[in-house]
Structure 1
Amino acid sequence: MKASIDTRDYLAFQTFLQEACGILLGDGKEYLVASRLNGLMVELKVGSLGGLLKRLKAPGQRGLRARVIDAMTTNETFWFRDPGHFRMLQEQILPELDQKAGGVVRVWSAACSSGQEPYTLSMAVQDYWKKSPGRRNRGVEILATDISSRVLDEARQGIYCGLSINRGLDAQQQQRYFIPRENNSCLEVKSEIRQRVRFREFNLNGNYASLGRFDIIFCRNVLIYFSSDLKKKIVERMAQSLNPGGYLFLGSTESLTQITDRFEMQMVGGAIAYRLKSN
């Protein structure tokens, strides 16, 4: 890509990205676009952002659209991120749900990236069951979604190497939840953890009807990338997807202030979750 991006092309790309996946790309982020798309554009032999946009508008470019969205999506994640959320899950929410009649407890990990969050949720469930064997009267199903097919492929494999092993995991957890692979340079998530998690490609700006209802939704460090209007739409759709009294978890720097009044904030040990209010 050429060193400078034409202002008109940048504005057009902002519109494309917001319409395609809801991400609001701010002004002055030309350097970010250039760095993230450079490899793809070299591969395609496209010399400018305008040229790439022209390709994207051509028929039959669904694969290219997906690759561009994937390149522009932030996939920063690690194990047991915001550990207070998982303690709250084990100490308050799962015991509460176990007291209710019903079928399988359903959890949604929205924008799950390469799988660390949904697998961490499954690990937290596993530990809760081991500490409270008498309460194991409801199963748990975790739906993990992301817009990127590439990171979902990585997540389904459940194999992690290098830095991704160490971020958030201590040696005891590595031994408890993983199987060594590749001469101990990589770790594979154990089947007992993986069996609870199902991965699916999904755009948060899409139709939620096919997802079903949930008891708990984790949508952490995601809303910050969307416009105010889209944040409200997504949270409203999530509220409609929750069972009565269901819980929504956001990132530690996010809140529902000025977004919705359909939830009440609950705090346990400094961790915050939002519980759907009764009608």
Structure 2
Amino acid sequence: MIDAQDYAEFARFLSECCGLVLGENRQYLVASRLSRLLGEFGYGKVEDLLRALRQSSNPTLKSRVIDAMTTNETSWFRDGYPFEILRQILLPELEARKKPIRIWSAACSSGQEPYSIAMVISEWEASFPPKTSPVSILATDLSESVLAEARVGLYDGLSIVRGLTPERRQKYFDTVENGHRIKPDIQRRVRFQKLNLMDSYAMLGKFDIIFCRNVLIYFSAETKRRIFDGLARQMDPGGYLFVGASESVSSYTDAFEIVRTPLGSLLRRRS
């Protein structure tokens, strides 16, 4: 069992480097997530790995530990309504401005969200040509390993069925020996980049739409305030933000107002 001091110091490490809050009595979770790294780094016990993490400046060890502790639960077209709002409301509205449209998928995990966005854009462009406003998608995540998976765009039989209709599976994927690979015309619509949400976003530029869904529930209230303020700075007034269905921003920032549509709700940057 991880002792109280090792656990407290590891919880502090996670909070400081990536904002994740472990809470109390999660020693079993830590041990189960990190046990797979023991052989990779040559440690006999999780406690040894934690002490090495505290004493070492090895960036690979730090990165692999963060990867192991980060929850990368995702699916295609998760919750459905954000993608319908994007297709039916936001893209036509932004197209009318006749300038490039920029979309950011934050905490994108293994790519299902940004690729779902890319599919929606592809379908929208096909349904209502011609288009005068090119759309770019930036997808970011803290984890090097999930970004590597996302860039490859190869998905196994279990992950490919979560949220995808048979029609979209056939249209947007090629069946290969090891699973299903996203087709190049969808893949090249997305640019992947490593980014820690605890860091500055200023170098990313401004966005018209930001997806930051189902990730901030793991952060402290102080960190949520910092992140929401950072997201607000990356969009002009009138820009749109999607958060998770169970997430709220009202306790952390007044930079956004709720927009209710027949398809569901989203947030808009105040003027």
Q: Shorter chain as normaliser: what TM range?
A: over 0.9
Distance 1:127 1:71 in 2: 35
Q: Which residue is 2:195 aligned to?
A: 202
**What TM-score do the two structures reach when normalised by structure 1?**
0.94
Deviation sequence 1:242-270 (CA, Å, 0-9, x none): 12210010011111121111111112234
Q: Secondary structure at the match of 1:236?
A: helix
Kindly state the Cα deviation for residue 49 of structure 1 after the two structures are TM-superposed: 4.2
CA offset at residue 59 of structure 1?
A: 4.5
Equivalent residue, structure 2, for 1:62: 59
CA shift digits 1:141-191 (9 cap, x unpaired): 110000000000000001111201111112111111111211xx6211111
Q: Does 1:237 align with 2:230?
A: yes
Aligned to 2:221: 228
Contact 1:105 1:139 in 2 (8 A): yes
- 1:187 aligns to what? 180
On the 8 A contact 2:35/2:46 being kept in 1, the answer is no
Amino acid at match of 1:54: R
SS of 2:196 mapped into structure 1? coil
The counterpart of 1:219, out of the listed 195, 212, 223, is: 212
Instruction: Give yes or no for the alignment of 1:53 onto 2:50.
Output: yes
- Letter in structure 2 aligned against 1:95: P
| Counterpart AA for 2:170 | Q
1:10 counterpart = 2:3? no
Check if 1:125 corresponds to 2:121. Answer: yes
2:159 to 147, 158, 164: 164
Match of 1:116 among 107, 112, 125: 112
Structure 2 segments unaligned to the other structure (5+ residues): none
Find the aligned partners of 1:276 and 1:226 in 2 and give their Cα distance: 22
SS of corresponding position for 1:272: strand
- Summarize the Cα distance change of 1:222–1:145 in structure 2 as closer, same or farther, 3 Å threshold: same
Task: Determine which of 101, 105, 113 is the counterpart of 1:105.
Answer: 101
Aligned partners of 1:146, 1:208: CA distance in 2, in Å?
12
TM-score by length of 2: 0.96
Q: Is the 8 A contact 1:98 1:137 kept in 2?
A: yes
8 Å CA contact 1:158–1:189 kept in 2: the answer is: yes
Number of residue pairs matched by the alignment: 271
Query: Does the 8 A contact of 1:152 with 1:200 survive in 2?
Result: yes
**Given residue 54 of structure 2, which amino acid in structure 1 is its aligned partner?**
K
CA contact (8 A) 1:10 1:49 kept: no
CA distance in 2, matches of 1:159, 1:48: 33
Instruction: Report if aligned partners of 2:84, 2:263 keep a CA contact under 8 Å in 1.
Output: no
Match of residue 30 from structure 2: 33
Q: Helix, strand or coil for the counterpart of 1:133?
A: coil
Does structure 2 conserve the Cα–Cα contact (< 8 Å) formed by 1:147 and 1:202?
yes
Give distance in 1, aligned partners of 2:170 and 2:156: 14
Deviations 1:180-204 (A, max 9, x none): 211xx62111111111100011100
C-alpha displacement of 1:99? 0.9
- TM-superposed CA distance for 1:50, in Å, is 4.0
Partners of 1:5 and 1:48 within 8 A in 2? no
Give, in whole Å, the separation in 2 of the partners of 1:66 and 1:241.
Answer: 26
Indicate if the aligned counterparts of 1:55 and 1:61 stay in contact, CA closer than 8 A: no
Q: What RMSD in Å do the two structures reach over aligned CA positions?
A: 1.3
Amino acid at match of 1:158: G
Question: Whole-Å Cα distance in 2 between the matches of residues 74 and 258 of structure 1?
Answer: 24
Q: 137, 140, 160: which is aligned to 2:132?
A: 137
